[in-house]
Amino acid sequence: MIQDARWVLSGLVACVPLVLASRGPFLEQVSNATWIFGNDLWNVTQEAVYASKLYLRGSELVGSATGHYMGYDGENNFAWTSAAITSRGKDYIDVGFSCNEGELHWVIFDDLAGAYQYFVNRALRDISILRTLWRLDPDLFLNGRTYLRDQTLPDFSLYQNATKVQDETWQLANGTFLTKYDFSDYVRERDFYGIYGPKVGSWYMHPGTDYHNSDHLSQTLTVHRESATGDSVQLNVVQDTSHFRVGEKIAQPADKIWGPWLWYLNDGDVKNAETKAREELAKWPYPWLKDPAYQSRGGVTGQLRLSDGRPASGAAIFLGETDTTRRPSVQGRNYYYTTQADAEGRFSLQDVRTGTYGIHAWSNGGAIYAVEGLHVG
């Protein structure tokens, strides 16, 4: 890949066009623990733990920051031991990076700035948190955006004279507070989120949320300023039974898939990212992931009534594990679906993975009260 070309000619010059052949999606192994992969628009240099370089159209986006990595429960970060193209289509390749715990896949299309990602469990221990993240150049990525906030990330200098009062929470001299939780949001309400500046943006889009644990009220981290280094941080937390609840570590079944989601790069245009998120929602579930369990889906419909015959108008509905004695907020072993009932208590869920589920329902601040029993029709 040519990142920078300068030609200095003197005298009589014949103008000859420079033609660069399209390479398409690729994976190259540089050493035992270094790989480069991407397409004609972007490429990543992946080392044993960290992806230390990210180029988009010739510009490097990590700088002095840490880059990309994945792990669980704090800083238990995965060490990649091998990489291979696990499948391919006419316009994409699926690159799988393997570690003892499982496989992180990057699905790279010809003309897409970014990649789809998903993780397949092989031998994860009991966990409460599973996440990927980018820590990128703070001089390029100045702002954070969720569906609740769109604003400049805190200046790194603010942390220098602040007092740490609890987990990544700092009190400033004027009595106000900074915390990495300021950009947290409700997982199932998201459209897209990320970090961006006037020249570049990095975004996560989750058109499907069934691999996210817990119910409607599940919240977790999104973006923040790294207090120790100043890195601009873009988190992708796909399992969290710890933050904003009484935490529990949960056993994970072999071959469970988190994802796919889209990691998307653009020129920092929020409207463009919004349009892309809508496009991805229309595509989900993705046809290129050939896993039979992922593709086997159906619909669930029903009507809820209270014990006195009234419809469960506006009820919050949660489709989860068959053990309904386990509270929804810390369910995190399988796949989960949420919706709201209409005025007559009717509800519908589409594209539900084939399986057996338990159902929870509760008042969502509407007309339901004095609930003594529930009937599912």
pLDDT digits (tens, 9 = 90+) for 163-174: 999 989 999 999
Tokens at 75, concatenated: 């800083």
DSSP code of 9?
-
Per DSSP bridges, beta strands 92-98 and 42-46 are unpaired
From the list 331, 327, 103, 108, the residue with the least C-alpha distance to 210 is: 331
φ/ψ region of 8 (left if φ > 0, alpha if ψ in -120 to 50, else beta) reads: beta
Distance CA 311, CA 368 (A): 9
Distance CA 218, CA 225 (A): 22
pLDDT for 7 beyond 70: no
pLDDT for 16 beyond 80: no
Cβ(95)–Cβ(29) under 8 Å?
A: no
Query: Would you state the pLDDT for residue 18?
Result: 40
Distance CA 309, CA 111 (A): 55
Identify the band that residue 363 occupies on the pLDDT scale cut at 50, 70 and 90: confident
Identify the band that residue 369 occupies on the pLDDT scale cut at 50, 70 and 90: low
Cβ(90)–Cβ(100) under 8 Å?
A: no
- Mean residue pLDDT of the chain comes to 91
Lowest-confidence region among 50-54, 94-98, 320-324: 320-324
List, in order, residues 6 or more apart from 306 with CB less than 8 Å away: 312, 368, 371, 372, 373, 374, 375
Is the Cα torsion angle 184, 190, 194, 197 positive or negative in sign?
A: negative
Largest separation between any pair of C-alpha atoms in the chain: 95
Q: What is the arithmetic mean of pLDDT over 335-346?
A: 95
List, in order, residues 6 or more apart from 377 with CB less than 8 Å away: 302, 303, 304, 305
Q: What is the arithmetic mean of pLDDT over 81-103?
A: 98
pLDDT for 200 beyond 70: yes
Cβ(200)–Cβ(189) under 8 Å?
A: no
pLDDT for 5 beyond 50: no
Other CB atoms within a 10 A radius of the CB of residue 309 amount to 7
Lowest-confidence region among 239-253, 269-283, 362-376: 362-376
Question: 194 pairs with which residues across the strands?
Answer: 145, 203
Identify the band that residue 21 occupies on the pLDDT scale cut at 50, 70 and 90: low
Cβ(226)–Cβ(136) under 8 Å?
A: no
Determine whether 196 is exposed, middle or buried from the number of CB atoms within 10 Å of its CB (0-12, 13-18, 19+).
Answer: buried
Identify the band that residue 15 occupies on the pLDDT scale cut at 50, 70 and 90: very low
Distance CA 195, CA 179 (A): 17
Q: What is the arithmetic mean of pLDDT over 46-53?
A: 98
| Residues 297-317: tens digit of each pLDDT | 999 999 999 888 889 999 999
| Residues 318-335: tens digit of each pLDDT | 999 999 888 899 999 999
Confidence (pTM): 0.91
Which contiguous run of DSSP H or E holds residue 280?
helix 270-283
Cβ(73)–Cβ(127) under 8 Å?
A: yes
Which contiguous run of DSSP H or E holds residue 251?
none
From the list 135, 146, 149, 112, the residue with the least C-alpha distance to 222 is: 146
CA distances from 265 to 132, 158, 276 (A): 16, 28, 10
Distance CA 119, CA 101 (A): 10
Percent of the chain with pLDDT over 90: 84
| Residues 130-151: tens digit of each pLDDT | 999 999 999 999 999 999 999 9
List, in order, residues 6 or more apart from 203 with CB less than 8 Å away: 114, 192, 193, 194, 196, 262, 263, 264, 265, 266, 273, 276, 277
